[in-house]
Amino acid sequence: MTKVIVSSGLDRLNSPDFRFLQEAAKFGEVHVLLWSDEAIRGITGRDPKFSQVERAYVIQAVRYVTQVHLSDGNVDPDALPGRLPFRSDAWVIDEAGNSAARQAFCAAAGLACRLLSSRDLAGFPEPAPEPMSGRRKVIVTGCYDFFHSGHVRFFEEASELGDLFVVVGNDENVRLLKGAGHPLFTAAERRFNVGAVRHVKQALVSTGMGWMDAEPEIARIKPDLYVVNEDGDKPEKRQFCRKQGIEYVVLKRLPKEGLTRRTSTDLRGF
């Protein structure tokens, strides 16, 4: 199969990065040459927002990525390393980052140069459901307003219990529960981010209101388990699961080993 390269710091860890990787995957297997913290400092003159360990963890969890490779030391943004750990066929580049130097490098290296325009990257396509494995159905709900590695870890743990469905709160209900200024991102964007994670079988948007805004989706999915973390443990959810005969599971809110504990509140600043 065709193998394509993405060479980047991917330091946003949200929808622009995920959309780019999604479109890149249309050209072949995506191998990410992820710039190290040192490389980002050298290229941008600033510290990365997220460490290379955290960036690698999240990007490897994106379903459109085949493998992440760390680019250590000095990185030339207009070229690729002389020795790659795999045979590559193309370099995928954001049109905004295109340059004559990159075009010249691809020509000299015998690589196709695939450009993605702003039009290619527009919008947030609804993620297609993944095939079910036949295991028990697991549902989780939440806002997922500023996506981060803690969400990925939560999905990773929940998916170990069965096929995972994630229902993100609709915009009106998030405003009702969290107040003015919320959500920071629309339901379509939040659903897209959630659906980009390989641990998730299907991402949906809730159609109800209140703490049980996902009740219509639960009725349709008929899950065996409802999984929450400690922050999401609510009496309304416990009571609902008891009445419906759904197993209720509360997970500890712990980051992946070696990573910083993240919260959406801290990242968005309010």
What integer pLDDT is reported at residue 261 of this predicted model?
87
| pLDDT digits 0-9 by tens, 214-240 | 999 999 999 999 999 998 999 999 999
What pTM, to 2 d.p., does this model score?
0.94
Q: What is the DSSP string of 209-244?
A: -STTTTHHHHHHH--SEEEEEGGG--HHHHHHHHHH
What integer pLDDT is reported at residue 93 of this predicted model?
96
What integer pLDDT is reported at residue 270 of this predicted model?
55
- Report which of 217, 232, 95 is spatially closest to residue 158, judged by C-alpha positions: 232
User: Per-domain residue ranges for the chain?
Assistant: 3-116, 137-268
> Which residue reads 């997220």 in tokens?
50
For the chain, state the CA radius of gyration: 20
Q: How far apart (Å, rounded) are the C-alpha atoms in residues 95 and 101?
A: 13
Q: How far apart (Å, rounded) are the C-alpha atoms in residues 98 and 92?
A: 10
Q: How far apart (Å, rounded) are the C-alpha atoms in residues 126 and 37?
A: 32
Report the CATH number of the 137-268 domain: 3.40.50.620
The superfamily in CATH containing domain 3-116 is HUPs (3.40.50.620)
- Report which of 141, 94, 149, 143 is spatially closest to residue 117, judged by C-alpha positions: 94
Q: How far apart (Å, rounded) are the C-alpha atoms in residues 244 and 222?
A: 10
Q: How far apart (Å, rounded) are the C-alpha atoms in residues 148 and 128?
A: 21
**Single-letter amino acid code for the residue at 90:** A
Same CATH fold assignment for domains 3-116 and 137-268: yes
DSSP 8-state symbol, 16:
H
What integer pLDDT is reported at residue 131 of this predicted model?
94
Residues of the chain with pLDDT under 50: none
